[in-house]
Amino acid sequence: MTSQSATLARLSKLSRLISVDSPSPLLKHVPTTVALLLAIVISLASPSLGVSQPPAFVLCIAIGVASVALAVWFTHRGTDSRMVTIVPLAALLAIAFLRVGTGGTSSLFSALIILPVIWIASEEGRRWIFVAGLGTAVAVMMPFIVIGELPSEGPEWVRGFVSPLVFTAVAAIINEISRQNRVQLKSIRALAEDLESSLADSVGQATQLRRSADELQKANELTNSVLDAVTEQAIIGTDLTGTITVWNPGAASMLGRTAQEMIGHASILELHREDELENRSRELNYPPGATVLNPGFSALVESARLGVGEIRDWTYRRSDGSEFPVEVAVTPRVNSVGTTRGYIFVATDITQSVEVSRFKDEFIGLVSHELRTPLSSILGYLELMRDDSDSPLADEQKLYLGVAERNAQRLLGLVGDLLFTAQTSAGGFPLKVDDISPGDVISAAVDSARPIAETAGVHVEMEGLPSALMIRGDKSRLGQAIDNLVSNAIKFTPRGGSVCVGLAERDDDGRVEITVRDTGLGIPAAELDQLFTRFFRATTATANAVPGVGLGLVITKSIVQAHGGELDVSSVEGEGTVFTLRLPQDAARL
């Protein structure tokens, strides 16, 4: 950087020097002044050359001094006016009178004429050639002009014409050389300015590059410090093909493999179970005929590639072959222009959480199972009391008995839901698979919900129920799922609203699509991700005192997934909600 600055300084100095179009008038007049002074001294000191015409000699000295004074004045003013050519013209006149005063036409100082001629001819413009020629003619013919006579001899006439012509030719040559020098000078100056500007830009870019490099180094140091500080999570980075490029100490501790072993040598797929990757690939439902070069890696990053954040549970494999559950968040790794260069996987060991959840499910299952028997007994005895003809109940007693029976039935339904969720968490539940008509299942669910809907003032309708459409599934479980969606839609729709249940067959993949659309309260966008979590209730439900315990959607999603389908939701708060249930037509997963 020091050498660049020094070079820039030298170029700047050179630019200032060559930016002056010509030397100062005084500097240009120095050769003529010195030559004229020497001629005067020689004339005064040498008797053989003596002064033949003292008045002309004195006039020569006076004009010479005046020319020097003019040169000093023009230099001091710093003007570049063409008036400065008065100085060489005055010098030319002084030389002319010097010739008159030192022998006239035979003067030995005629050669001095060339000095002011050079100055005049070097000025910009062709006209100065003629000015130099005319001035030369005057200087040569001055002896005859002073005495008022014409040349009497032939050589004098020849000298009077030839000498000016020769000086004019010399002036033309000098003028052309000066013109070319000015052109070259301008080119050199422009080049020097360009070089100076380019070097200044280069220095600026180098400074910015060094600053950027320093910032990048600091950012890398900060990133490495953060990665090294995270020891409870495994942070793993890959390129676009799945090759590992980042491996933090948390990954080394969790998986028992060092960064040297993994970075640049191993694939992220080595940490996963093949069956989980295959199942995820099937869930992605690539379009028919689509070519997926790396289906295993695509199963991991497809959502992140599409710009959708995803947190998913996987099973990782340690270096010793043991396996454990992890929760993995996947995000794309982009460069400064937004191009994806790879992916970041942040994995958290959830072994303890899974164990706690398993114990909780076992406890719920145990408690629910133990509650079912006494509840069934209570309902049985309540029914006996109500139907006992030997000891009929009073109307008030029947009212109380009805309240107790309804609450017992409600409690029994809740116990059933708890048992069902415990079954799904424990690894599934049995399905009675058969050929069923989804239209019939929907009609039955809507017919069952109509009394409740009419009481709530909600209009329920169906659309697009092709009777010929058949699928493979458990009619009872699918009916339960649709019942849950329809009852939820009615509960969340204010009086005067509507609920529409639709059925269609998709053309792209042949799946059956069931939609339940309402014009109800809607669900806040920030809560959609938690909607299928057990016991979760949206703020719109709690704020409007909508009854429920937060298990219906969990059960519905489990039933849909057990049939190899998907359940999606979209909602706008205050406008309504749409649940979309997609099922394959061929076979359910048992």
Residues 413-460: pLDDT tens digits?
666 666 666 666 655 566 778 888 888 888 888 888 888 888 889 999
Give residue-wise pLDDT tens across range 474-505: 888 888 888 888 988 888 888 999 999 998 88
Q: Which of 199, 219, 253 is the last residue of a domain?
A: 199
**pLDDT grade, residue 4 (50/70/90)?**
very low
CATH of the domain at 238: 3.30.450.20
Q: Is residue 164 part of a domain?
A: yes
- Give me the helix-helix angle, 86-101 and 25-45, nearest 10°: 10
> Is there a domain that residue 207 lies in?
no
pLDDT value of residue 28: 81
Alpha carbon 176 to chain centroid distance? 58
How far apart are alpha carbons 122 and 126 in whole angstroms? 10
Pair 147, 253 in one domain? no
Q: Could you say which DSSP state residue 564 is in?
A: T
**pLDDT at 215 (0 to 100):** 75
Q: Are residues 267 and 193 in the same domain?
A: no
Q: How far apart are CA 89 and CA 119, in angstroms?
A: 9
Name the band, by pLDDT with cuts 50, 70 and 90, for residue 333: confident
Structure confidence at residue 18 as a pLDDT band (50, 70, 90): very low
Within this chain, do residues 513 and 557 fall inside the same structural domain, yes or no?
yes
Here the CATH number for the domain that contains residue 391 is 1.10.287
Give me the pLDDT at residue 126, please.
82
Last residue of a domain, which of 325, 349, 373?
349
Give CA–CA dist 402/414, Å, rounded. 18
Residue 343: strand pairing partners: 238, 332
Give the residue among 502, 406, 495 at the shortest CA–CA distance from 455. Answer: 495
pLDDT of residue 501: 92
Pair 524, 480 in one domain? yes
- CB-facing half-sphere around the CA of 362: CA atoms within 13 A: 6
Do 16 and 58 lie in a common domain?
yes
**Paired strand residues for 233:** 348
582: its two tokens: 């997609």
**Strands 576-583, 566-572: pairing kind:** antiparallel
Of 151 and 282, more confident: 282
Within a domain: 310:
yes
Has residue 530 been placed in a domain?
yes
Q: What is the mean pLDDT of the chain?
A: 77
Q: What angle do CA 501, 503, 507 make, to 5 degrees?
A: 145
Question: Cα Rg for the chain, rounded, in angstroms?
Answer: 53
Q: What distance in Å separates the CA atoms of residue 15 and residue 238, rounded to the nearest whole number?
A: 54
pLDDT in tens, 215-233: 767 666 666 666 555 567 8
Grade residue 308 by pLDDT with cuts at 50, 70 and 90. Answer: confident
Domain limit, last residue, from 394, 425, 456:
425
- Alpha carbons 442 and 516: distance in angstroms, whole number: 10
* Whether pLDDT at 110 is above 60: yes
Does residue 169 sit in the same domain as residue 308?
no
Instruction: Render the burial of 332-371: b for 16+ CB within 10 Å, e for the rest.
Output: bbeeeeeeeebbbbbbbbbeeeeeeeeeebeebbeebeeb
What confidence tens digit (pLDDT) does each residue in 573-586 have?
888 899 998 888 76
Q: Assess if residue 219 is contained within a domain.
A: no
Return the CATH number at 455.
Answer: 3.30.565.10
Angstrom distance (rounded) from CA 566 to CA 514: 11
Q: Does residue 238 carry a pLDDT above 50?
A: yes
Q: Answer yes or no: is 226 within a domain.
A: no
Cross-sheet strand order for the sheet of 512-518:
459-463, 498-505, 512-518, 576-583, 566-572
Q: Which has more confidence, 164 or 363?
A: 164
Tens-place pLDDT, residues 186-201: 888 888 888 888 888 8
Number of separate domains in the chain:
4
- Per-residue pLDDT band for 366 (boundaries 50, 70, 90) equals low
Q: Model confidence over 516-569: pLDDT tens digits?
A: 999 988 888 877 777 777 666 676 666 555 665 567 787 788 888 888 888 888
- State the DSSP H helix or E strand holding residue 503, giving kind and residue range, or none if neither: strand 498-505
Query: Stretch 339-349: mean pLDDT, rounded?
Result: 87
Q: What per-residue confidence (pLDDT) applies to 546?
A: 63
Task: State pLDDT tens for residues 36-91.
Answer: 888 888 888 776 666 778 888 888 888 888 888 888 888 887 655 678 888 888 88
**pLDDT value, residue 498:** 92
Same domain, 31 and 177: yes
Instruction: Identify whether 296 is part of a domain.
Output: yes
Q: Give the position of tokens 């169906």.
A: 462
The yes-or-no verdict on residue 26 having pLDDT over 60 is yes
Mark whether 453 and 404 lie in a shared domain.
Answer: no
Does 254 lie in the same domain as 175? no
Q: Whole domain around residue 441: which residue ranges?
A: 434-583
Task: Indicate if 557 and 457 belong to the same structural domain.
Answer: yes
pLDDT value at position 529? Answer: 75
Using 50, 70 and 90 to split pLDDT, how confident is the model at 8?
very low
What is the arithmetic mean of pLDDT over 293-306?
A: 80
Are 410 and 271 in a shared domain? no
Residue 287 has pLDDT above 90, yes or no: no
Q: Residue 307 falls within a domain, yes or no?
A: yes
Instruction: Identify the pLDDT of residue 481.
Output: 87
Return the SS3 of 581: strand
pLDDT average, residue stretch 132-147: 74
Residue with more model confidence, 157 or 376: 376
- Look at residue 148 in the predicted model and tell me its pLDDT: 55
| pTM of the predicted protein model | 0.42
Residue 256 tokens, joined = 């028992």
Which is more confident, 175 or 274? 274
Could you tell me if 454 and 556 lie in one domain?
Answer: yes
